[in-house]
Structure 1
Amino acid sequence: MEIQWRKSSKSSGVEGNNCLELAEHGGEILLRESDNPDVIVRTTRAKLRAFLGGAKEGEFDDFA
């Protein structure tokens, strides 16, 4: 089964090559950057949900 990648609506770049892409495959959530598609980060729904919740709450603002 082919992986169906989805791009973030917040992605930028005229050519569409500056995008974060997500997919669900085999019970895992996959993440990659469109300009480096061979590097794939694998995680679970629960871990991604926790990360996104932390990002929304500003837990990682000191990294910027």
Structure 2
Amino acid sequence: MAETAQEIKARKERERDELYALDISGVEWRSAPGTEEHEERVEIADLPGGAVAMRSSLDPGTVLRYTEAEWRAFVLGARDGEFDLEPAPRSGGDVE
């Protein structure tokens, strides 16, 4: 039997509450290879059940947490180009 919208919302809230209740003080943070300690970078840590925590190296106290399904959807979307930035408009008076 399929979940109702209300049941899905309640389940997602429970999952979020469980993720944020985890003690992550001992997790191992990793970042993209080749980044230096002083550079701004995104850091990722694996959590139980396939969940993931993400933070900025410049603000390590602010940590976002994602369920396995949320993280998988994000990664697949990124691979498909869903989050690609549009080229910034060129400044100056050049008209093409």
- TM-score scaled by structure 2? 0.52
Higher RCO (CA-CA < 8 Å; seq separation 6+): 1
Query: Quick one: distance in 1 between partners of 2:41 and 2:29?
Result: 11
| Larger displacement relative to structure 2 (15-24 or 27-36) | 15-24
Q: Aligned Cα RMSD in Å?
A: 2.3
Question: Taking every aligned residue pair, what percent have the same amino acid on both sides?
Answer: 34
- SS for the counterpart of 1:61 is coil
- TM-score scaled by structure 1? 0.71
Aligned to 2:75: 52
Aligned to 2:29: 5
Query: Quick one: distance in 1 between partners of 2:68 and 2:29?
Result: 16
Which has more radius of gyration? 2
Query: Quick one: distance in 2 between partners of 1:40 and 1:34?
Result: 10
Higher strand share: 1
Higher helix share: 2
Residues 31/63 of structure 1: CA separation in 2 closer, same or farther (3 Å cut): farther
- Deviation of residue 33 (structure 1)? 0.9
Unmatched 5+ stretches in structure 1: none
